[in-house]
Amino acid sequence: MRPFTFFVSYRRQDTAPIALLLKNEIEKKLQFVRVSVDVEEMTPDDHFPDRLKRLIDEAHATIALIGKQWMPKRGIRSTERIGDDWVAHELERSASAPFAQSMNDRYGLTQRVVFPLFADCERSFNQF
């Protein structure tokens, strides 16, 4: 059986150090768990969008790491955000893409789980 795998979705300018720390701590504490963070899983010859898709498809769950700068400012239209917003693409794919694992490697899951994890911020987004 393959290890349970998380994909961490985060904004580099906001929570990159926390994403790497989270990966290291989870893998250190949980023996049969793997955590994918894009910067550690990429090679120079990888095509970024394709590699992200593979990492998400191979994951059982996605952790959406939410920091202070995660939400866009008010007044920015959603169509403008999603175009070049990699985090939006990652979360959309996490919620909709089918599993790449066989039935025996899905740990009983029927779809990928997306967990919001608030890091270094308040749970209220009223300031936006």
Give the three-state DSSP class for 103. helix
Give the count of beta carbons closer than 10 Å to the beta carbon of residue 29: 8
The two beta strands, 61-66 and 113-118, are: parallel
| Domain covering 4-118 in this structure, CATH number | 3.40.50
CA 4 – CA 59 distance, rounded (Å): 8
Residue 73: the pLDDT is 55
Helix (H), strand (E) counts: the chain: 5, 4
Full pLDDT tens readout for the chain, 128 residues: 889 999 999 998 889 999 999 999 999 999 999 999 987 767 778 788 888 999 999 999 999 999 887 776 555 555 555 557 888 889 999 999 998 889 999 999 999 999 999 887 665 545 44
DSSP assignment, residue 74?
Answer: T
In the chain, where are the structural domains located? 4-118
Q: Given this model, what pLDDT does residue 46 score?
A: 78
Q: In whole angstroms, what is the distance from residue 109 CA to residue 127 CA?
A: 36
On whether the CB atoms of residues 26 and 33 are closer than 8 A, the answer is yes
